[in-house]
Amino acid sequence: MTKSILTKWFIATAFAAPLFFAAQANAVTANCSPGSTCVVSGGDTALEKERARQEKEQWDDTRSLRQKVNRRAEKEFDKGDRAIDVEDACLKSSVVTAYWEPNTQRCLDANTGREVTSGWK
Q: Is residue 108 part of a domain?
A: yes
**Residue range of the domain that includes 114:** 84-121
Average pLDDT over residues 91-108: 88
AA letter at 81? D
Q: Is residue 120 part of a domain?
A: yes
pTM: 0.44
Distance (Å, whole) CA 2 – CA 34 = 50
**Comparison of pLDDT for 70 and 27, the residue scoring more:** 70
Partners of 98 in beta bridges: 109
Q: What integer pLDDT is reported at residue 67 of this predicted model?
A: 96
Q: Is residue 4 part of a domain?
A: no
Distance (Å, whole) CA 36 – CA 80 = 43
Distance (Å, whole) CA 86 – CA 106 = 8
Q: Is residue 29 part of a domain?
A: no
How many domains in the chain?
Answer: 1
**Comparison of pLDDT for 93 and 38, the residue scoring more:** 93
Strand, helix or coil at 86? helix
Q: Which run of H or E residues covers position 99?
A: strand 98-101
What stretches of 1-121 show up as alpha helix (H) in DSSP?
Answer: 2-31, 46-91
Q: What integer pLDDT is reported at residue 39 of this predicted model?
A: 66
Distance (Å, whole) CA 8 – CA 14 = 10
Q: Is residue 32 part of a domain?
A: no
